Chains A and B, each alone.
Chain A
Amino acid sequence: MKNKGILIFLIILAVIIVTVVTIDYSTSKRGELPPNPYELSTDPFTKVDTSLIIFKETRDFALDFNEPRGVCIKNGQIFVVGDQKMQIIEPTGKLIREVSFDQKPATVYCSGKNIFVGFRKNLSLLTMDGNKIMGWNAFSDSTVITSITEFEGKVFVADAGKRIIRKFDIEGKPQGIIEGKSGNEQIHGFIIPSPYFDIAFNAENELWVVNPGKHTLENYTMNGDLRTWWKGSSVRIDGFSGCCNPAHFAFMPDGGFVTSEKGIVRIKVYKPSGEFLGVVAAPSKFSENAQAPDLAVDDQGKIYALDLDKKMLRLFIKK
C-alpha cells in the first residue's frame, strides 16, 4: 500500500515536470515571444500609400560589378563605375566598352564632351569613348570626392571630407572653393555627417547642391553665392529624414528634382520649387539595410537608379 502511494506520487511529479518543461519550451521558442514593450517600429515610415507612387519599374539591368558606385547618362549611353572599372552601356543593356582603372571610382559625370571619373582623392578626365585625357592630382589627404559636375569649362567637385565644393578649369587649375556660407543665419555652410554630398547643374544652368545635414537643396551662383534654397526636414514621406539626406539627386527634364535617401531608402520626385510630387520607389523596393541608390535621368524623364546592393540598374518610368 505504501509503495503504491509512492508510485502515484512519482507519476504525478513526473507529469508536473513534463508539463512545466513543455510550457517553458513552447513559450520561450523563437518567434513565439510575448509582445515586446520596447520595440520601435519603423513601419509607419516604410509603408507608402500606393496613390503616392507615380512611377513604375519597367526594367532591370544586372550589372557585372561587385561594388557599383555611380551612374550617369548622356547621349543615349549609360556610364556605370564601380570596382576598378567603368562600363559604357547601351539603353538596351548591351555593353559598348569597359575601361579599367588602378583605383576604385566613387562617382562619374558625363558632360557630353568628357567623362569625369572621381576617385576618393583625385579624378580622371576621359573622352566620351573612354580614352584617358589626363589625371588630376589628389586634392588633400582628407578629401572624399562624392560628386562632380561641369558647365562651360568650369568643373565643380564636391569634397565631403573637406565639406567644400572645389572649382577648377578643365585643365584642373583651381578656381576657388564654395563653402556654402551666407549671410542668411539659417544657412551655416555644408553639414556633411557622412560621405553623401551631391551637386548638379539643372537645365537652366543653375548649380544646385545638397546640404544633407540640413536636409536642404541649395542653389549657388558660379561664384559660390547662395541664391535660393528649399528644405524638407521631416520623417514624413514628403520630407528628408535622418542625418544626411537626400543622399543623391538628379534633375528631371522639366527642372524637377529626383532624390534618393539613405536609412529608409526611397526615391521621390519634387517640383522645381521643391514641392513634393510623388514617390518613384518605396522602401519596400529595396533590401533591408540597403544603401541609397545613385540616380540618373535621361532626356525623356526615365529615371535610372543604381541599386548598390542588388547590383542592378533599375529603370523607372512615369505611370
Chain B
Amino acid sequence: MAEKNPKYSRRDFLRNGTRISLLITLGTVGGISARHLTHEKYVWQIDPFKCTQCGRCATSCVMSPSAVKCLHAYDLCGYCDLCGGYLKSDPNKRSTAAENQLCPTAAIQRKYIEEPYFEYVINEDLCIGCAKCVKGCTSFGNGSLHLQIIQSRCLNCNECSIARLCPSDAISRVKGSKPYMVKGSFTKES
C-alpha cells in the first residue's frame, strides 16, 4: 500500500490545478486579444497589370452590384476626344449620346475641359465593374482606366467568388494597410 504524501493533499492538488487552469485561460484570452489587436488584416484586391478585362467581376461577385469598380488614373490619361474607354468603337459621332457610349450603365461622365481635351469621371454608384471601358482604354488608349475592389463595398469573403473564377489570377489577398493597387500616382474621388 502506497504512502500518502502528508504535505500535498488532494485539496491542494485541486486548488493548484484550478489556479493553473485559470492562468492558462487568462493567457490564452490575452494572447488572442493581443493577436487581434496587432495582427494585420488581409483583403482581396485586383492587380490591374494582370487583369485581362474578361468582365467576370461584374457577374461573379456576391455583392450586387459588384464591389469591383473602375478607377481612373488621371495622370496616365490623355484626356482624348476619341476615348476608347468612353466611346464605342467606330461611333457615329464623338458625343455623349447613349448610342455612342461603351458603358452599359452610363457610369462615365465626359467633361469638356478645353479643345480638344475631355476629362472622364467614373460614377462609382453606377459602375458595375464590367471592365468594358477598361478593355477599350487598354486596347486603344493609355490604360488609365482600371478595376479595383472597393473595400468599403467588399464583404471580404473567406473565398472570393471572383478570385475563384478569374482567368488571369489577378485577384489576391493584400495587406489591409495597403488595400489598393492603383495605377499611376493618384486618382480623384468620383
Contact = CB atoms under 8 A, between A and B. Distances in A.
Closest 10 CB pairs of A and B: A193-B78, A38-B130, A242-B140, A38-B55, A243-B78, A243-B141, A243-B80, A40-B132, A40-B135, A263-B140
Interface string A1-44: 00000000000000000000000000010110100111110101
Contact of B139 (A191, A215, A233, A263): A263
Given A30-B165, A44-B89, A243-B142, A36 B80 contact: no
A36 B59 contact: yes
A194 B142 contact: yes
Which secondary structure dominates where chain B touches chain A? loop
B149 interface: no
Looking at B55, B89, B116, B167, the one whose CB has the most chain A CB atoms below 10 A away is B89
Which secondary structure dominates where chain A touches chain B? loop
A193 B56 contact: no
Given A38-B132, A194-B78, A213-B78, A243 B84 contact: yes
28 contacts: A36-B59, A38-B55, A38-B104, A38-B128, A38-B131, A40-B55, A40-B132, A40-B136, A42-B135, A45-B89, A191-B116, A193-B77, A193-B79, A193-B80, A193-B141, A213-B116, A235-B89, A235-B90, A236-B90, A241-B82, A241-B89, A242-B82, A242-B84, A242-B141, A243-B78, A243-B80, A243-B140, A264-B140
A28 B78 contact: no
Interface residues of A, number: 29
A233 B104 contact: no
Interface residues of B, number: 32
Interface of B: 53-56, 58-59, 77-80, 82-84, 89-90, 102, 104, 115-116, 128, 130-132, 135-136, 139-142, 164-165, 167
